[in-house]
Amino acid sequence: MKNLHEKLQHIQASLKAPKGQRNKFGNYNYRSLEDIIEAAKPLLAELGAYILLSDQIVQIGERYYVQARAVLSDGVNEIVVTAYAREPLSRKGMDESQITGAASSYARKYAMNGLLAIDDTRDADATNKHEEKEDKKSTSTKVTPQGKAKEIIEQAFFSFTTEHKDECLEHFVYSKEKFTEAIIKHFKALPTRKDSIKKILETIKPEEVMVDAPQPKESKNEV
């Protein structure tokens, strides 16, 4: 009979959770919490183990977080991993219960990722061979604005994030680097005049500037 750590090692090595969901804004595939749970069920049944998910609201500083726990147990011993997701102050089109529910799902997913050693790196569509070949051929050069261009971009980025603060998707943030890349994409050059700001704000869309929000690194293992 395997001990609990050996069972966990077996699950981590054998688990295959496909990325069955698609994020149309970021153009990448991802796995949902439900994808992970369904993939884990046969392995848990095989080993006589189970996973319990729970969460609670905790206050850290002046903000509220959902603290999720993923517990692997064989009925005798437990291995516990925790993860956190911060509740946004507001979310366009969602009431308070929906905001908490979204944060709960997010925290539970990342607790499961930590427990089962799942790499949640975003995938581009691997079936698009043409894009793969183009990516291999091309190299990206990071552009660092200087002087007047830097000043204008900072002003434009501030105005952009203020104007679109309610449109940023849950667990995403606006990236100044992506904002700069979008400017170059649309205008083929960095701005040099302040009257460019209005045109920039009219042209760039929120989904062009979103990136995944940094994840809290707080986690613990208990036996």
**CA–CA separation, 93 and 212 (whole Å):** 20
Per-residue pLDDT band for 176 (boundaries 50, 70, 90) equals: confident
Greater model confidence, 109 or 24: 109
* pLDDT reading at 46 higher than 50: yes
Residue 100 dihedral angles phi and psi, to the nearest 5°? -65, -40
**CA–CA separation, 21 and 179 (whole Å):** 26
How high is the pLDDT of residue 103? Answer: 82
- If 0-12 CB within 10 Å is exposed, 13-18 middle and 19+ buried, where does residue 136 land? exposed
How high is the pLDDT of residue 26? Answer: 63
**Residues 148-168: pLDDT tens digits?**
888 899 888 888 888 877 666
**Residues 107-157: pLDDT tens digits?**
899 899 899 988 765 544 433 333 344 344 433 445 566 778 888 998 888
Averaged pLDDT score across all residues of the chain:
78
Q: Which of 211, 213, 215, 183 minimizes the C-alpha distance to 25? A: 211
Q: State pTM to two decimals.
A: 0.53
- Exposure string for 82-105, b = 16+ CB within 10 A, e = fewer: bbbbbbbeebeeeeeeebbebbbb
